[in-house]
Amino acid sequence: MTIRIASFPPIISETSEILILGSVPGVRSLKAQEYYAHPQNHFWKIVFQLFGGEFTPNYAQKLDFLTDNKIALWDVIETCERKGSLDTEIRNEESSDIPALLAEFPNIKAVFCNGQKAHKNLLKMVGKDYDLPIFVLPSTSPLHTIGFEKKLEAWTLIKDYV
């Protein structure tokens, strides 16, 4: 069954220097009302390892860790119809207002897309010649089959911007 889903509000502060964009939350994340709630998604493990933190399952502490490390988080899709959690099942999508968010938070130095879908949607919004660097990183989803170490290695690029 296809249902209409909505993303979460952005996690961002005046001190944020990078923005990480996903596509739209998966079923487990929607149920938990938490970004990257699927236990096999590598997002939180990568972020904690990159910035030398001790992983915690506590969501509030995860969000504090992002803020402490100048990381903002949001999704490129505000609402859409989707069956399951696959990006390929997304239909009738409406975009989040990423340009307005970036205008409101001028300390953002670079944007990192968590996977190809986020990257493709962002480029539709802002174009290839946007005034901030935009990078596409391997998806942290458990469906993206490259191993954790390769994902972690690619994601180290973030550290050049904070």
Which residue of the set 41, 69, 114, 121 is catalytic? 41
Q: Which amino acid is at 12?
A: I
Strand order in the sheet with 3-6: 3-6, 77-82, 91-95
- Give the burial class of 134: count Cβ atoms within 10 A of its Cβ; 0-12 exposed, 13-18 middle, 19 or more buried: middle
The question of whether 121 is a catalytic residue gets the answer no
Sign of the alpha-carbon torsion through 144, 77, 43, 2:
negative
Question: Which residues are designated catalytic?
Answer: 41
